[in-house]
Amino acid sequence: MGIMDTNGMITVKRKDDNAAVYDQVKTDKPNIPSARKLGKHNKLYNPVIIPAWCKSCGICSAFCPKGVIGCNDMGAPVIERPDECTGCRFCELHCPDFAITIKERTMKTRGNQS
C-alpha cells in the first residue's frame, strides 16, 4: 500500500537488496477525499416545526445531538443551525405533540430553511 498525492502519484515502498526503495506510480484518480471520509453526510435535512401544534416543552432542543434546535425568549423551539442536522429524527420521534418533522432536502430545497 502506498501514499497518494493530489496529482495522482502513488509512492510505493518496496525492498530491494535490504534497502528501502521508493517508486512513484501514476494512477488514474487524484487523491481527493470524499465527503463521507471527511465525516460529513451526503444528505442534508430540514427540521420543520409546526408552531400551532408545539407546546414548547423543550424536548427537541434539549436532546438534539448536534444542537440544531434552540429556544427563543418565549421557550419555543427555533432552528438555529439547519445545515448541522444529521437526520437522526430524535426530535421527531420524541415530540409529544408531533410538532416537528425532518425532511430530506432535494436539489430544489437546498439552501431553503423550510
Spell out the alpha helix ranges (H) of 28-112.
59-63, 90-94
**How confident is the model over 46-87, as pLDDT tens digits?**
999 999 999 999 999 999 999 999 999 999 999 999 899 999
Helix (H, G, I), strand (E, B) or coil at 25: strand
Tell whether the model's pLDDT for residue 39 goes beyond 60. no
Q: Where are the domains of the chain?
A: 1-32, 45-104
The confidence score (pLDDT) of residue 32 equals: 47
Helix (H, G, I), strand (E, B) or coil at 20: strand
Tell whether the model's pLDDT for residue 7 goes beyond 70. no
Does domain 45-104 sit in CATH 3.30.465.10? no
- Report pTM: 0.56
